Amino acid sequence: MKITKYLLFVFLLFYSFIHVQGQIPKSDSLWNEFRKAKHDTTKIKLYLEIGDIYEFQLPDTSIVYYQKAIALAEKSLVTSHSLSPIVATTIKKYLASSIRYIGIIYTNQGFYDKGIEFYLKALKISEELGDKKGVSRCYTSIGIVQYYQGNFEKSIGYFLKSINIDKGLGDKKGIAADYTNLGNVYSEMGTFDKALEYYIKSLKIAEELEDKIGMAQCYGNIAIIHEENGFFNKAMEYYQKSLKICEELGDKNG
């Protein structure tokens, strides 16, 4: 398993590098947009995007910007009585997203109860709006926490709920992500055939969407299953596919 852990580390390193390199120049551009913004909806959206930039490097800074988005959204909903229904709905969607994003950071930091607390708040807003995509994302986030806590059956239940919604919406990227999540759960449970089934489903969608990062992740996951099953040559084949894509993405962002 040393090879597995090393290669997964390499993948994560490439992914983080690609993400950060792509976001650094974007920060200045977003702040320029923010200074010119006249409407609260635009400012809230930009706070969210700026928060995203710091998610990996400075998560606490990221939370600060998400909190700014929440504060401005709540203020706008209370003080702006002339908001059109469409604008009010947009602001509420941003509010739910801001709350969920904070939950994601707490989850990444290992504060699972705190993460769930924020996901449930976001879920309530999304349900009140009838925002199916928002509800699906909340289900996914809650499922991930359940997975981390070892509540595998509950985790599977939430991921299946998310998939059902995403299928109705035609959200292929969301479906692929949840297939991967299901694969992770079954892999952790030692049900490797089931895990492989879901990883392959996710890979097919990633290939269809030409999602290189998604493909690299799927190849790495499939490699792990083959290694667990003792098919080491097959595992190395998929590891190499994953690393090749990571190297290509690294070159493009270098």
In the predicted model, is pLDDT for residue 57 greater than 80? Answer: yes
Asked whether residue 80 carries a pLDDT value surpassing 80, the answer given is no
Average pLDDT, the chain: 88
The whole-model pTM stands at: 0.86
Please count the residues of the chain: 254
- Tokens 């924020």 belong to 118
**pLDDT score of 1 more than 60:** no
Share of the chain above pLDDT 90, in %: 75
List, as own/partner pairs, every contact residues 238-241 make where C-beta atoms lie below 8 angstroms and the sequence separation is at least 24, other chains included: 239/3, 239/7, 241/216
Is 65 in a helix, a strand, or coil?
helix
Q: What pLDDT does residue 252 have?
A: 56
What tokens appear for 65 in the block? Answer: 């910007």
Domain spans of the chain, in order of start: 37-130
CB atoms within 10 A of CB 114: 16
CA atoms within 13 A on the CB side of 130: 1
pLDDT classification of 4: cutoffs 50, 70, 90: very low
CATH topology classification for 37-130: 1.25.40
